[in-house]
Amino acid sequence: MRHFLFLLISIAFFSCKNEEKNDNLYPETGNDAPVEGAMADMTPSERLGKEITEGKGNCFACHKSDQKIIGPSIMEIAKIYKEKNGNMVEFLKGKGEPIVDPSQYEVMKTNFAITKNFTDEELKAIEDYFYSTIK
């Protein structure tokens, strides 16, 4: 069991990238740039949340939209937080209790070093994106 826990923590640790800040990583598109595909139906906050989840947040390393891999799916997280009226932003700040899968909390806790550096706007955008998957 110790080896399994060590393996999970190692995977979570190495999946977190420490990249140099690049201000052009998420450029503002402006109002005149058309948004295409699935993102066309998203609010600006939901789009930002999706970009963070798939980019600098590295959430996609453990969470897929509709299937459990290392962590629960984004849809499952959103559904449980909505049902239990949980505060996803506070959890991502490291201040909330785990309500989705408490047994995986130690693995997720390693990522708080990343999410604690996000602005409130970015954390709210992640929450908005997660909730948009269950509309």
Q: What is the pLDDT of residue 32?
A: 45
pLDDT over 80 (residue 107) = yes
Determine the CATH number of domain 2-15+45-132.
Answer: 1.10.760.10
Mean pLDDT of the chain: 84
What's the CA gap between 6 and 8, in Å, rounded? 6
pLDDT over 60 (residue 14) = no
Tokens of 71: 């962590």
Average pLDDT over residues 109-131: 96
Cβ-proximal residues to 130 (8 Å cutoff; 6+ apart), any chain: 49, 74, 77, 78, 81, 88
C-alpha of 87 from chain center: 14
Q: Which of 52, 41, 23, 31 is nearest to 120 (CA)?
A: 52
Spans of all domains in the chain: 2-15+45-132
Q: Indicate the angle between helix axes 44-54 and 120-132, nearest 10 degrees.
A: 100
Average pLDDT over residues 91-105: 93
What's the CA gap between 26 and 15, in Å, rounded? 21
Give φ, ψ of 63 to 5 degrees. Answer: -125, 120
pLDDT over 90 (residue 73) = yes
What's the CA gap between 118 and 56, in Å, rounded? 10
Average pLDDT over residues 25-46: 66
pLDDT over 70 (residue 104) = yes
pLDDT over 50 (residue 111) = yes
Residue 31's pLDDT band, with cuts at 50, 70 and 90, is very low
